[in-house]
Structure 1
């Protein structure tokens, strides 16, 4: 049996044109990605993304626009499932309550799963700022949309 792992992520850009990045550590593996996570059985994509932002950032969001959905095979880095990732442009409906750092992987806890957040200016954002291929492609799509918006 082949398993699918549906992931949903939010591209949150603040008023200073900086995008929020999540640095995480799971099973001693560190990675950087966009905030979000896995779809739970019975959830819709938007509900899952709103839940993830409440869990990770203690913040309600509004989903503004679809940016990208994975259109190629991507195997999970953690198990044998196929990853399908969906990216949305989002905006916060309140102030973020999560710890925002100025350095990468600035974890403030010794928990099994660690997470910290940081802002990167959109104009400085590169594919090297994230770990996973789907996030790298989402950056390409976001930057193309951003250039159209500014033109």
Structure 2
């Protein structure tokens, strides 16, 4: 039986025109992506995105508008499921109290899963800054909006 993996991500931009990105390490694999993750059974997209931001960033967000939904076939990097990713513009409703990093994969600790956050200039954001094809595609779309 073919499986679908529905994922939801937030595009959060600060007052310096920088977008929040997440560096992570899991299963011995390091990757950079936008904040968010997998939808849980019985959960809607908006609720899932709010939950992901609370779990990962300890911040309440408002979902502003839809940006992009996967429109091509994409196999998961971790299993045989088909990935469907939905991206939204979001804003934080509470302050982001994170230890922002300036270097890639600058983790505190050694026990997986590991995660750290960085701000990346929207003006300078490159496709190669992201690990997964879907996030790379989103960067291309963001670059078209410049």
Normalised by the shorter chain, which TM-score bucket?
Answer: over 0.9
Give runs of aligned pairs for residues 1-151 of structure 1, distance below 5 A: 1-145=1-145, 147=146
| Structure 1: gaps (5+ residues) | none
Structure number with the higher helix fraction is 1
CA distance in 2, matches of 1:45, 1:141: 21
Shift of 1:142: 2.2
Shift of 1:94: 1.3
Shift of 1:140: 1.8
Q: Does the residue aligned with 1:53 lie in a helix, a strand or coil? A: helix
Shift of 1:144: 2.6
Verify the 8 A CA contact 1:9 1:34 in the aligned structure 2: yes
Q: Does the residue aligned with 1:54 lie in a helix, a strand or coil? A: helix
Matched pairs, number: 146
| Higher mean C-alpha deviation, range 114-123 or range 135-144 | 135-144
CA distance in 1, matches of 2:6, 2:84: 5
Verify the 8 A CA contact 1:65 1:89 in the aligned structure 2: yes
CA distance in 1, matches of 2:143, 2:62: 20
Q: Does the residue aligned with 2:141 lie in a helix, a strand or coil? A: helix
Shift of 1:75: 0.5
Shift of 1:65: 1.3
CA distance in 1, matches of 2:72, 2:36: 20
| Structure 2: gaps (5+ residues) | none
Shift of 1:35: 0.2
Q: TM-score, normalised by structure 1?
A: 0.94
